């Protein structure tokens, strides 16, 4: 390979990329937009637990149901309580029967109904149940029968202890990376479609030089922006080398996909549908990070899973090489295959 | 005596069932302009692609400047310039940027793009984006790009196709200047007048095979017929055409009789064109 030629090609491609107003704007716009999204999202987790209580008659001991980080709000009816829990105003609802005091007096077991939102963590459910039993025991000196009722409201957010915006980081980084696929694919497609490739191929430039130049250009554009984003949002501070390695492998992945799309596209418009075809499946693993438990193990067949999983674990939980090496290795393996397919497809196109 | 810049020996190439180039052999001497003529689909472009290293021949051998093209693609491509039929410039870049890019690819350190652009008549527009150029300007820039590296062998594919007379003439002048410099020129064209005027020798290629290779003069001698074309005035005052074939034993008598018996209004000699000769040899026209 000839470094002088590769340098000339990279310089030419960067020049063409930023002369395309759409790509220049998209590059800057995407970075600013994703940074804005990150910074406007909550930076902390609200750990106070709101519980709704419907009590036609308030037993004295239940008035003590105020603990640190446990906020009780009394509602006026069982119906209102169910509705509030369903809408997510409370993580749990406690409905006491009207005859609770009579039953306590008679030594009978009143029926207390507990309502939980579907995303209420199991440990919290257990805590509320234990709390009610303790209170009932304090009130009567005997255990109570408790009927529990659950409403399924949406995805299970079990274990969401990190701020939403940090959970969003892998998704935003993925968008920053993948958007560069469009630019690279369009540059390659136009190189073939407008036959400038022929003019290049009758110079001392080799096909290897060409692939090296396109590869370096695609990787540096994607990696540069993603690394800048992560640096600004503080995602690199914990495990910088792991994060940078993941971003580099992610940039190689989107470059390989750019080669593939470039082999079938002639210009930006024809690249767009292919871009969407690639984008949609690759996006799925980012959802699994946003909403844990929503997507099961099959997501591991999608290469981007190993990128977002590594970024999520390293940036949000401080996972090191020992924790993520398997994911990085899988991502590397996917990259080798995708880049090889991309180069093979493009070689056929160059003929 | 100059050596051969291009030697094609039994070159063969096929696309699936279609034999595009069928065992063709020819040579081009250094400093020679060879006109490569044939209708669309005759095998011209495939031949050029083989000679420039874009395609590897499936049979035979191509040698440029003493180097086997298939084995020395990079070296060969450092010595050639290629001007394609369709404009394939970086349209969002200026003329000067296009030329500088290719100068860098060829490893030329001191390159005077302005001088080259002046030479092809693009001075004053060198910083405009190519997308704003007319077809003639783009074609002149294509020619300029093909000579950035002062190539020893220059391939020109329909360099004047669809251009206005002034642009076409300026490109023909550049071709002649390049030949003066010592470049060997492989010229593919449909323009028979151009081929006749510029080429030292011409090749007729048809259905992948070379059907004739000689100087335009010899081809005309061999295959053409020279004739006198006259317009005579009849008794009723109408004009009629008369034709006398030259170079035959009866020519002298026929001319004598024409002037003795008819009232000649105009008379001129006419040579067969390369187009006529191609049709005579192949039974088909060059432009279909």
What is the set of domains in chain A, with CATH numbers? 9-42+162-350 (no CATH), 49-150 (3.40.1710.10)
> A225 to chain B, minimum CA–CA distance in Å?
24
What is the percent of chain A with per-residue pLDDT over 90, rounded to a whole number?
27
Tell me the count of A-B CB pairs closer than 8 A.
59
CA distance, residue A335 to nearest chain B CA (Å) = 29
Q: A156 pLDDT band (50/70/90 cuts)? A: very low
ipTM score assigned to the predicted complex:
0.83
What pLDDT does A158 receive?
A: 46
Which of A201, A203, A351 is opposite residue B102, by nearest beta carbon? A203
Compute the distance between CA of residue A192 and CA of residue A347 in angstroms, rounded to an integer: 11
Distance CA B216, CA B200 (A): 7
Find the closest chain B residue to A10 by CA distance. Answer: B101
A328 forms beta bridges with none
| Residue-level pLDDT at A152 | 45
Neighbours of A245 (CB within 10 A): 19
Spatial distance between the Cα atoms of B12 and B113, rounded to a whole number of angstroms:
39
Ramachandran region, residue A342 (left: φ > 0; alpha: ψ -120 to 50; beta: rest) = alpha
Neighbours of B121 (CB within 10 A): 19
Q: Do A198 and B88 lie within an 8 Å CB cutoff? A: yes
Residues in chain B: 288
Q: Rounded to the nearest 5 degrees, what angle is found at the Cα of A206, between the Cα atoms of A203 and A207?
A: 125
The contacts of residue A20 (CB under 8 Å, 6+ apart) are A183, A186, A268, B92
**Structure tokens, A222:** 């994607």
- State yes or no: pLDDT of A155 exceeds 50: no
User: How close A190 gets to chain B, by Cα (Å)?
Assistant: 10
Render pLDDT for B142-195 as a digit per residue (tens, 0 to 9): 999 999 999 999 999 988 887 888 888 888 999 999 999 999 999 998 788 888
CA-closest candidate to residue B44, choices B139, B174, B158, B193: B158
Structure tokens at A351: 């003929």
The share of chain B scoring above pLDDT 70, in percent, equals 98
Q: Which two tokens stand for residue A249?
A: 């492998």
Residue B90 has pLDDT above 90, yes or no: yes
- Per DSSP, A67 falls in state B
Average pLDDT over residues A95-101: 83
Does the distance separating the beta carbons of A16 and B93 come in below 8 Å?
yes
**CB B54 to CB A198 under 8 A?**
yes
Q: In the prediction, which pLDDT does A223 show?
A: 94
A146 or B283: which carries more pLDDT confidence? B283
B79 pLDDT more than 90: yes
pLDDT digits (tens, 9 = 90+) for B15-60: 988 999 999 999 999 999 999 988 888 889 899 999 999 999 999 9
Question: Which residues of B fall within a CB distance of 8 Å from A201?
Answer: 54
């Amino acid at each position: 390979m000839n470094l002088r030629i590769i340098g000339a090609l990279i310089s030419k491609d960067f020049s063409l990329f930023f002369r395309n107003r759409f790509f220049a704007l998209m590059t800057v716009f995407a970075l600013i937009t994703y940074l804005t999204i990150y910074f406007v999202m909550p930076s902390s987790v609200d750990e106070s637990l709101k519980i709704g209580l419907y009590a036609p008659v308030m037993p004295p001991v239940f008035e003590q149901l105020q603990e640190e980080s446990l906020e009780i709000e009394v509602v006026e009816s069982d119906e209102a309580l169910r509705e509030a829990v369903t809408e997510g105003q409370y993580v749990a609802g406690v409905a006491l029967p009207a005859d609770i005091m009579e039953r306590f007096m008679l030594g009978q077991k009143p029926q207390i109904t507990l309502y939980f939102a579907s995303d209420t963590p199991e440990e919290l459910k257990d805590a509320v149940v234990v709390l009610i039993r303790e209170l009932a025991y304090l009130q009567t000196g005997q255990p109570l029968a408790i009927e529990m009722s659950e409403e399924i409201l949406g995805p299970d957010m079990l274990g969401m202890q990190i701020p939403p915006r940090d959970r969003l980081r892998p998704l935003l980084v993925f968008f920053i990376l993948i958007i560069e696929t469009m630019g690279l694919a369009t540059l390659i497609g136009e190189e073939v479609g407008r036959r400038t490739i022929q003019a290049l191929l009758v110079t001392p430039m080799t096909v290897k030089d060409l692939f090296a130049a396109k590869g370096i250009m695609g990787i540096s554009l994607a990696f540069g922006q993603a690394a800048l984003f992560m640096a600004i949002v503080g995602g690199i501070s914990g495990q910088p080398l792991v994060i940078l390695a993941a971003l580099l492998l992610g940039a190689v992945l989107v470059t390989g996909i750019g080669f593939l799309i470039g082999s079938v596209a002639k210009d930006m418009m024809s690249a767009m549908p292919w871009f969407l075809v690639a984008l949609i499946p690759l996006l799925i693993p980012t959802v699994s990070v946003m909403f844990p438990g929503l997507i099961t193990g099959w997501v591991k067949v999608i290469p981007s899973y190993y990128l977002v999983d590594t970024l999520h674990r390293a940036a949000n939980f401080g996972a090191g090489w020992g924790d993520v090496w398997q994911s990085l290795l899988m991502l590397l393996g996917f990259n080798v295959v995708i880049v090889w397919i991309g180069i093979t497809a493009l070689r056929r196109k160059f003929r | 005596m100059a050596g051969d810049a291009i030697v094609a020996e039994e070159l063969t190439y096929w696309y699936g069932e279609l034999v595009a180039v069928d065992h063709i052999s020819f040579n081009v001497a250094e400093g020679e302009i060879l006109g490569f003529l044939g209708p669309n689909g005759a095998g011209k472009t495939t031949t050029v692609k083989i000679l420039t290293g874009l395609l590897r021949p499936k049979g035979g051998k191509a040698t440029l400047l003493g180097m086997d093209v298939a084995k020395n693609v990079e070296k060969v491509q450092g010595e050639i310039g290629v001007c394609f039929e369709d404009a394939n410039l970086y349209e969002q870049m200026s003329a000067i940027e296009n030329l500088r890019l290719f100068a860098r690819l060829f490893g030329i350190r001191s390159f005077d793009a302005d001088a080259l652009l002046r030479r092809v008549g693009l001075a004053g527009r060198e910083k405009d984006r190519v997308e704003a150029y007319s077809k003639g300007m783009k074609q002149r820039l294509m020619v300029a790009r093909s000579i950035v590296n002062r190539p020893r062998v220059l391939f020109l594919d329909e360099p004047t196709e669809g251009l206005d007379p002034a642009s076409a003439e300026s490109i023909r002048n550049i071709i002649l200047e390049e030949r003066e410099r010592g470049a060997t020129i492989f010229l593919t064209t449909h323009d028979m007048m151009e081929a006749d005027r510029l080429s030292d020798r011409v090749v007729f290629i048809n259905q992948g095979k070379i059907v004739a290779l000689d100087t335009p003069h010899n081809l005309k001698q061999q295959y053409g017929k020279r004739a006198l074309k006259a317009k005579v005035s009849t008794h009723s005052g109408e004009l009629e055409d008369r034709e006398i074939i030259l170079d035959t034993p009866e020519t002298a008598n026929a001319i004598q009789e024409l002037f003795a018996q008819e009232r000649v209004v105009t008379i001129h000699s006419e040579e067969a064109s390369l187009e006529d000769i191609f049709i005579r040899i192949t039974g088909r026209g060059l432009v279909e």
